[in-house]
Amino acid sequence: MAQTTPNHKLTVSGWAAHDNSGVISPYTFKRRVNGPDDVSIKILYCGICHTDIHHVKNEWGITMYPVVPGHEITGVITEVGSNVNGFKIGDRVGVGCLAATCLDCEFCKSSQENYCDKVQFTYNGIFWDGSITYGGYSEMLVADHRYVAHIPENLPMDATAPLLCAGITVYAPMIDGKLHESTGMRIGIVGLGGLGHVAIKFGKAFGHHVTVISTSPSKEKEARERLGADDFIISTDPTQMQSKRRTLDFILDTVAAPHSVGPILELLKVKGTLVLVGAPDKPLELPSFPMIFGKRVVKGSMIGGMKETQDMLNFCGTHNITCDIETVTPDKINEALHRLVKNDIKYRFVINIGDTKSSL
Ligand code: NAP
Ligand code: ZN
Give the distance (Å) from ligand 1 centre to CA of residue 50. Answer: 7
Is the C-beta atom of 48 inside 6 A of ligand 1? no
The region that residue 70 occupies, defined by phi over 0 for left and psi between -120 and 50 for alpha, beta otherwise, is left
Q: If you average pLDDT over residues 294-314, what whole number do you get?
A: 98
Cα 248 to Cα 267: distance, rounded to the nearest angstrom: 6
The pLDDT of residue 358: 38
Q: What are the chain's domains?
A: 2-163+304-359 (3.90.180.10), 166-300 (3.40.50.720)
Segment 93-114 shows an average pLDDT of 98
* CA 277 to ligand 1 center in whole angstroms: 9
Q: Give the H/E segment covering residue 189.
A: strand 186-190
* Distance between Cα 153 and ligand 1 center (Å): 29
The answer, yes or no, to whether any atom of ligand 1 lies below 6 A from the CB of 57, is no
Please indicate whether residue 227, judged by its CB atom, sits closer than 6 Å to ligand 1.
no
Q: What is the rounded distance in angstroms from the CA atom of residue 112 to the CA atom of residue 168? A: 13
Instruction: Tell how far CA 167 is from the center of its chain.
Output: 6
pLDDT at 356: 52
**pLDDT tens for residues 163-181?**
999 999 999 999 999 999 9
Which ligand 1 atom is nearest residue 191's CA?
11
- The response to whether residue 114 sits with its C-beta less than 6 Å from ligand 1 reads no
Q: From the CA of 258, give the closest atom in ligand 1.
A: 18
pLDDT above 60 (res 51): yes
- Ligand 1 site, residue 340, Cβ cutoff 6 A: yes
Cβ atoms 129, 13 nearer than 8 A: no
Mean pLDDT, residues 188-216 taken together: 98
For residues 31-55, average pLDDT: 98
How sure is the predictor about 86, in pLDDT bands with cuts at 50, 70 and 90? Answer: very high
Structure confidence at residue 1 (pLDDT)? 44
Position 360 scores a pLDDT of 32
Give the ligand at the shortest distance from the Cα of 72.
2
Query: For residue 156, what pLDDT is reported?
Result: 98
Question: What is the pLDDT at residue 6?
Answer: 85
Alpha-carbon gap, residue 280 to 354, rounded angstroms: 32
The pLDDT assigned to 4 comes to 60
Question: For residue 5, what pLDDT is reported?
Answer: 80
Above 90 in pLDDT, residue 3? Answer: no
Q: What is the mean pLDDT of residues 45-59?
A: 98
Report whether residue 167 contacts ligand 1, using a CB cutoff of 6 Å: no
- For residue 169, the ligand closest to its alpha carbon is 1
Ligand 2 mean position to 200 CA, how many Å? 17
Ligand 1 atom 27: residue of nearest CA: 50
Q: Which atom of ligand 1 is nearest to the CA of 301?
A: 41
Mean per-residue pLDDT, 205-230? 97
Q: What is the DSSP string of 5-61?
A: STT--EEEEEEEE-STT--EEEEEEEEPPP-TTEEEEEEEEEEE-HHHHHHHTTTTS
* Spacing, Cα 165 to ligand 1 middle (Å): 13
DSSP secondary structure code for residue 118 in this structure? T
Among protein residues, the one with the nearest Cα to ligand 1's atom 44 is 51
Query: Does the pLDDT at position 2 exceed 60?
Result: no
pLDDT score of 267 more than 60: yes
47 within ligand 1 shell (Cβ under 6 A): no
Ligand 1 within 6 A of 163 CB? no
